[in-house]
Amino acid sequence: MNRPVVRLTSVTLGTDEPALLAAFYARLLGGEVAATEAPSPEGPGWAQVRVPDGPTLNFEGEVQFRRPAWPAVPGGQNATEHLDLWVDDLVAATRWAIECGATLAGVQPQADVRVLLDPSGHPFCLFL
């Protein structure tokens, strides 16, 4: 069988605050919040960010969301994925991410990579 056309178009992250996370990533990446669904009695809503030269980021509201722990801890809600973001200046990009609302992770396993946590606790990496 020949491989059918399969393309990555978006990445979806769970959160308890989709609008907050969408605003964070839109500012961080120079994108725009393209769609939102307001919170309702059924759940915290949904939001989408379109970023230049990248896949769309979706933020799915989860009623039972728990902040992930990074690095992993026994019995914790561990992060099962993270975003890798290429930067041309690691120091400046780290400062920018923190100004946007990220937190520098306590563990930094590589000298040329910075691990940060977004407002919902998802880790993401800035790398040269």
- pLDDT at position 69 is 86
Mean pLDDT in residue range 88-95: 98
Looking at 1-128, which runs of residues are DSSP E strands?
A: 10-15, 32-37, 46-50, 56-61, 83-86, 103-104, 113-117, 123-127
- pLDDT at position 15 is 95
Token pair listed for 40: 């309702």
Alpha-carbon span 4 to 2, nearest angstrom: 6
| Residue 79, pLDDT above cutoff 80 | no
Q: Which of 49, 42, 48, 46 has the alpha carbon at shortest distance from 61?
A: 46
Mean pLDDT in residue range 29-58: 94
Residue where the block lists tokens 């605003």: 23
Alpha-carbon span 22 to 33, nearest angstrom: 6
CA dihedral for 16, 77, 93, 48, sign (positive or negative): negative
| pLDDT tens for each residue of 3-20 | 999 999 999 999 999 999
- pLDDT at position 10 is 96
Token pair listed for 122: 């998802």
| pLDDT tens for each residue of 102-124 | 999 999 999 999 999 999 999 99
Q: Which domains are delineated in the chain?
A: 1-65 (3.10.180.10), 67-128 (3.10.180.10)
Q: Which of 105, 97, 117 has the alpha carbon at shortest distance from 13?
A: 117
